[in-house]
Amino acid sequence: MSNHSLRASLRCLAHPAVWLSIALLLLNDHLLKVAAPSWLTGKLSDIVGLFFPFVLAAALSLLPGPLRRLPPMTLGRIAFAVTAAWFTAMKATPLGHAWAVQAISALLGRPIAVAFDPTDLLALAMLWPAWRLWRTATAETPHAFPLRAGWLALTLAAAASAASLVPVPPPLPPLPPVVMTIIGHLATLAPDSEGSILLQVRDPVTGKSIPNARVKVLLGTPGRKSQEVFSGKTDENGLLTARFPVPESVEDPEQLLTIVAETDKGSARHDEEVYVGRVYNVLVSTDKPVYQPGQVIHMRALALDTVALKAAQEQPLVLTVQDPQGNRVMRKELTTSRWASLWLTSPWTARPSAATTSSPPRWGQ
């Protein structure tokens, strides 16, 4: 091989110190940075990476033209000077940093991120031991390291340097101008009652509460114009308790509740589907679990409005009893008392072989 600069580069790359640097670079960037990220792991990548100007020297010596005919010491000075200038511009000047990031991203075919930190220039001290190693390698000796090891180290050093570059993470979605936190979401609203919502309006960047934010609550059928049922302003802590009347009757029980907060910085909106209607729980009990034909059944029912948490007073209730085959044995239309209870006494007329069960009670119209 007549290319003395390339031979010097390969002898440097075959040195045990370079192999140790490659292993340390891979260990730091792919294990230590993930397990224990800190300022030390960040600086270590720059320190170890600057021990590889021989890679640039090898690349320059392979280029066609006058560079490959330069003496090894001259080519080494060029490679070390370019490495120092590149690193300084990338870490200490905004223009150099932007240009370096664009150049490396274009070379690798993917966007990468490089930290802009002038304190990383302390890593330039690693160029001094690397230069001493280069000066030693320029004198060929019979005991020089094998060039095959240099080629392998050149490949590994280039791959390790490229793999250690951090890819650019996907851009985060923009922050909304205002954040509104709803405390106590409503799934069901009782007709002719009062709904209540506690909310807070904050700045998403600083996290500070926003006083005097204008808040509106609207209720209506989805796809149609909603009706404003509340308006107010937040207090000095950005809090507001919105209390609004629920209509006694609506065309469609499936309603859309909309909360809008407006500030000088922007607005926030929250939509939530709610059910406007009555929801009841009924407890039915009998005086005993088994009856014989001709015996009298004593049943009692208690009804509760689960939305208003009140007794279902004077509400129509349909109670049905049927056998396992689905045959209706009894059906009664009743009305609850002022205490939301009712009592039923009825003779048992089912056949002895047919065990009977009661079906869930149904509210009348």
Asked if the model's pLDDT at residue 151 lies above 70, the reply is: no
Q: How far apart are CA 202 and CA 228, in angstroms?
A: 23
Give domain limits for the chain. Answer: 4-167, 179-276, 280-363
pLDDT at 355: 47
Sequence-distant (≥ 6) Cβ neighbours of residue 137 within 8 angstroms: 8, 9, 11, 12, 15, 72, 144
Q: How far is CA 45 from CA 23, 28, 142, 256, 353, in A?
A: 11, 7, 34, 56, 86
342 and 336 Cβ atoms separated by less than 8 Å: yes
Task: For domain 280-363, say whether CATH 2.60.40.1930 is its number.
Answer: yes
Could you check whether 179-276 and 280-363 share the same CATH topology? Answer: yes
pLDDT, mean of residues 101-125: 80
Which CATH class, in words, describes the domain spanning 179-276? mainly beta
Please provide the DSSP assignment of 188-240 as one string: EE-TTSEEEEEEEEE-TTT--B-TT-EEEEEEE-TTS--EEEEEEE--TTSEE
Task: Report the range of poorest mean pLDDT among 44-48, 124-128, 161-165.
Answer: 161-165
Asked if the model's pLDDT at residue 38 lies above 70, the reply is: yes
Asked if the model's pLDDT at residue 353 lies above 50, the reply is: no
Query: Which is higher by pLDDT, 8 or 142?
Result: 8
Please, what is the average pLDDT of the chain?
Answer: 77
Give 41-73 pLDDT, tens digit per residue.
777 777 777 766 655 565 566 566 676 667 777
